Chains A and B, each alone.
Chain A
Amino acid sequence: MAKVTKEEVYDAIRTVIDPEVGFNVVDLGLIYDVDIDDKNSVHVKMTLSTRGCPLHQMMQEWVKEAVEKIPAVKDVVVEIVWDPPWNISMASENVKKALGV
């Protein structure tokens, strides 16, 4: 069984776009950590830019579905955390530049 890499998971999650801001959730810095065990079970720890985001559950589902598309992945758990709270310094340079930060 081929071992799933973190890069593969991040690339898969990059297909998930925040429709309000127009950037993918990885570049926005919303993905805090990706953990892959020996059985290729993936645990994604992510946050959202706003605690009251109405897309909360949908974002979680989109990330889960995106990772599940990687053929070798066994199962996926996406956990939303609020600590540390997201801020713009967590976003990629491209996002910061586009936002004029």
Chain B
Amino acid sequence: MFNISKDFAPPFKLIAPFFISGAIFYILSSLALLFFKIDFDYMQLNIAGWIHLFLLGFVMTIIFGAMAQLVPVILETGHFSVDFYYIIFPLLLIGTILMVFGFWFNPILLSFGGILVLSSMLIFATEVFLTIKKSSLKTFSTKAIKVSNIFLLIGILIGFLISLTISGFLGFDIESLIKAHIYAVVGGYIMITIMGITLILLPMFGLAHGFDEKPINKAMNIMIISIVFVIIGSFLDLKILMELGYIGSFIAVIFYLYQIYLIQKVRMRKESDIWSKSMVVAFVSLIVSAILGFFYLLSTDFRSLLYGSIWFLFIGFFAFLINGHLYKIIPFLVWFHRYSELVGKEKVPMLKDMYPKKEADFEFYFSLFGLIVAGIGLLTKEETLFKAGVSFLFIGSIFLGTSIKWMLNYGKNRS
């Protein structure tokens, strides 16, 4: 018998900054979109700046905070040392800001920001590996954590080489490095981490049991091979290997979506709360992203298909998946911090009462409308539509910020 001791749960004050900072970066990245013209190219430095603002500032910061809470749950053992997260947070925060300013204003800042981000991720991955060493579990999710952290290290090292090259310290071919960097981080770290986490969280929140796990295993194995193909292909300039990698990653996404369908089919909790609505948008967006990406592969000259695919992956899948889970994770953290000791002594609130329904709905509908309108704008190259959609997205992000503030302050006067 094992015990997930309360001591294994990281302190509220350690995790809360990750979520607060992640939400602020989400608002800033939505705001920044208002200043972009639609005729961009993904190789532009200002676009790279936005991608880092969104992926590092929002996605990775929230994932790191969530992992501080979820690693003991997934591995069924305590952190090797949860105090590492006190160092990870400021390094990641300052590193991200320097990198974004580096891309937008002065490339020399990139290498400094890169060192800080590299350090924070090295510490994060080391802590995760040392925690894995303590666990004897061999589940899908533990394997996903291991593999994703290996890709994180590979991806961030390549990213650091890119930052040194842009800053003028090294002379690598940036274009081939960028593809390897994107695939290692987005496909290898973010996607595989999401696969591992969703296999735990979706059944937990949806009360789903007794489903087949073969599709997710196939999804991860194919994804691993695909990412290795793209990385090797981009370094050796082997186009065929890279294309095999692209096709493989689509197949992996299809298996992943099939797994989600299997979980959804046996889900017992059918209520339509903010979490379940957000999950529907997230997974439909992933389907849309995969379809657009597939058509882009068939006709490589339609850049708008590629941008549409990335839009629905980033704003549709990543953002809705993360934001939807924030309405579950933050109330749990607050409840655990402020009410768990009171169970059996006095009436304690239920988690579903610990998020603001109205603000959450506003966040959801504004963001959904923004996602669709701006997505159509990107696909049709209609600047006005894109800007209109992004405006809605920005308003949605403000509601996310107010919701998070509301949730974090719930019952504050008690402690």
Listed in ascending order, the chain A residues whose CB lies under 8 Å from chain B are: 15-17, 19-22, 49-58, 60, 62, 65-66, 69, 79-80, 85-88, 99-101
Contact = CB atoms under 8 A, between A and B. Distances in A.
A54 B332 contact: yes
A65 B209 contact: no
Given A19-B335, A85-B209, A62 B1 contact: no
A56 B8 CA distance: 11
Interface string B324-335: 000000001001
Contacts of A19: 335, 339, 348-351
A55 B335 CA distance: 11
Contact of B344 (A49, A66, A87, A100): A66
A62 B335 CA distance: 15
A57 B207 contact: no
B343 interface: yes
Interface stretch (B99-107, B197-205, B236-244, B399-407): B197-205
Among B76, B336, B344, B351, the most chain A Cβ lie within 10 Å of the Cβ of: B344
Interface in B5-59: 5-6, 9
Given A52-B74, A57-B6, A62 B343 contact: yes
Contacts, number: 73
A67 B102 CA distance: 60
B204 A57 contact: no
Contacts of A16: 343-344
B69 A54 contact: yes
A52 to B, nearest CB: 5
Given A19-B335, A20-B332, A99-B207, A54 B344 contact: no
A99 B344 CA distance: 25
Interface of B: 1, 3-6, 9, 69, 72-74, 76, 141, 200, 203-205, 207, 209-210, 268-270, 332, 335-336, 339-340, 343-344, 348-352
A15 B346 CA distance: 11
- What 5 A-B pairs have minimum CB-CB distances, sorted nearest first? A56-B4, A50-B204, A52-B73, A88-B268, A100-B270
Given A49-B207, A99-B269, A101-B268, 5 more contacts: A19-B335, A19-B350, A49-B204, A50-B203, A58-B6
Nearest to A68: B344
29 contacts: A16-B344, A19-B349, A20-B205, A21-B207, A21-B269, A22-B350, A49-B207, A50-B200, A50-B204, A52-B74, A52-B76, A53-B4, A54-B4, A54-B9, A54-B72, A55-B336, A56-B4, A57-B4, A58-B6, A58-B343, A60-B3, A62-B344, A66-B344, A80-B1, A85-B209, A85-B210, A99-B269, A99-B270, A100-B270
B291 to A, nearest CB: 32
Contacts of A101: 268
Contacts of B340: 55, 58
Given A52-B73, A62-B343, A85-B209, A57 B203 contact: no
A69 to B, nearest CB: 8
B351 A56 contact: no
